[in-house]
């Protein structure tokens, strides 16, 4: 189509696996490969196009698990924390090309990954952990993503933006 202006890296897989579980090592390798290692590969492939774009943007999607932690999600948490570190590092590295690199950390959002959680359990979690006392909607994350990718966002880079209904503020 002649160009590429925006790269959005959004991948998530999750499994509750204890450190001493026999499947821990394979879960770790898969989690890191999908949620961290793949990101710079996509970005590297996109770089020739991004260098020619008028308003090049890279947006990485991490999680509030990058900012805190949950038991038996260490592979997920480590991968998402790596996304935050990658975002900051690439913001510094690519800034001289005019490429902004930012990260959104969604909290509890109604997605395919959370679809199997019972509504009553979601409601209880949200009441206890988020300031807004509810799960977010995908479009609420999408609006923040859009705001970081428009031309007017040209001076925002290296930002880590929680979209979590106040979960991280409430647990700070």
Write out the catalytic residue numbers.
76
Q: In what order do the strands lie in the sheet with 100-106?
A: 6-9, 57-61, 100-106, 160-163
Q: What are phi and psi of 158, to 5 degrees?
A: 80, 10
At 92, which helix (H) or strand (E)? helix 74-94
- The two three-digit tokens of residue 66, written as one number: 């990058």
C-alpha 85/C-alpha 78 separation (Å) is 10
> Whole-angstrom Cα distance, residue 55 to residue 77?
31
By DSSP bridging, strand 57-61 and strand 160-163 are: unpaired
* d(C-alpha 40, C-alpha 42), whole Å: 5
Phi and psi (nearest 5°) for 9? Answer: -100, 110
């Amino acid at each position: 189509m002649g160009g590429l202006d925006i790269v959005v890296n959004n991948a998530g897989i999750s499994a509750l696996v204890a450190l001493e579980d026999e499947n821990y090592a394979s879960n770790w390798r898969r989690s890191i490969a999908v949620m961290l290692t793949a990101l710079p590969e996509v970005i590297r492939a996109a770089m020739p196009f991004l260098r020619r774009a008028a308003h090049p943007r890279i947006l990485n999607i991490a999680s509030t698990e990058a900012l805190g932690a949950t038991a038996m999600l260490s592979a997920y948490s480590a991968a998402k924390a790596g996304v935050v570190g990658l975002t900051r590092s690439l913001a510094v590295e690519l800034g001289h090309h005019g490429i902004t690199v930012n990260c959104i950390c969604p909290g509890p959002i109604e997605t395919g990954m959370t679809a199997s959680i019972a509504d009553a359990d979601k409601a209880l979690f949200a009441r206890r952990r988020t300031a807004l006392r509810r799960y977010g909607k995908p479009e609420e994350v999408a609006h923040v993503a859009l705001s970081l990718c428009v031309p007017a966002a040209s001076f925002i880079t290296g930002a880590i933006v929680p979209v979590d209904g106040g979960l991280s503020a409430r647990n700070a």
